Amino acid sequence: MSLLNRHPVSIGREIREFRDDRVFVVATDDTYAPEQYFKHLALRRVRVVVLPTERGESSPAHVVARLKAAYEVYANAHEVRERDEFWIFLDRDHHFKGTHTPQTLEALRVGKTAGFEVAISNPCFELWLLLHHEEVSPDAELHNCAAVESSLRARLGSYNKTNILPGQFPLDLVEIAIRRARALEKFPDSPTALLPLPIGTRVYRLLEKILSPAL
């Protein structure tokens, strides 16, 4: 059974409390953390629908295909509105190295052609979570996700990506995380490199959109 059939999601009346509520649909290569994070984020007049990875289908091509399938379902049901956005979340991993790189670049090209936004984290989404609680230097020794998760546990006392606790990453710390993530970018308003280097996370770009007043 497909992801959409297992988790039927509508961005129509079932999601929007008011007709002008904004909806952001996020397809991710992660199975747990982004979905857990947004579940606990107390947003008003905004809903974030996360399409996580299942059955190990986490390659960039799988993530883009999952988002395209969701978009087509919503568009065919006339549920997509002008200010809704569709986002691809990816971690830096082996798909950005060696012989995997051409397939990754092609998947991103397909996604951008479809009008999707892209937020890549280097090394992983957990860096975005860490930035809620501490400033990170560009030369920090956080070059793999295990190191980032270790820092999260040291800061919070515990961290389980399958069960993020309410209050661990509250809304009132998001603007701080955005400032810290922007500080890791050379061109935060218009990133040019494929990956934030040497470390960084472009999840801030989505949260800036979410927190911006509706036009």
**Confidence class for position 184, pLDDT limits 50, 70, 90:** very high
Q: How confident is the model at residue 12 (pLDDT cuts 50, 70, 90)?
A: low
pLDDT band for position 3 (cuts 50, 70, 90): very low
Helix (H, G, I), strand (E, B) or coil at 207: helix
Which residue, among 70, 66, 81, has the nearest Cα to 13 in the 3D structure? 81
Residue 15 clears pLDDT 90, i.e. is over it: no
- Give the position of tokens 């956005």: 85
- Kindly state the tokens that stand for 146: 């295990």
Let me know: does 167 contact 48? Beta carbons within 8 Å: no
CB 106 within 8 A of CB 85: no
Q: What is the pLDDT averaged over residues 79-84?
A: 91
Amino acid, single-letter form, for residue 62 = H
E strand residue ranges, 42-171: 46-51, 85-91, 117-122
Predicted confidence (pLDDT) per residue in 109-137, tens digit? 999 999 999 999 999 999 999 999 999 99
97 class by beta-carbon count within 10 Å (0-12 exposed, 13-18 middle, 19+ buried): exposed
Query: Taking the complete model, does pTM exceed 0.85, yes or no?
Result: yes
- Whether the per-residue pLDDT at 9 is higher than 80: the answer is no
Number of domains in the chain: 1
29-76 confidence digits (pLDDT tens): 999 999 999 999 999 889 999 999 999 889 999 999 999 999 999 999
End-to-end CA gap in the chain: 39
Q: What is the dihedral of CA 159, 164, 166, 169, to 10 degrees?
A: 70
**Strands across the sheet containing 200-201:** 46-51, 22-28, 85-91, 117-122, 200-201
Predicted confidence at residue 5, as pLDDT, reads 37
Mean residue pLDDT of the chain comes to 91
The domain in which residue 151 lies consists of 3-211
Q: Kindly tell me if the per-residue pLDDT of 176 is higher than 90.
A: yes
| pLDDT of 189 above 70 | yes
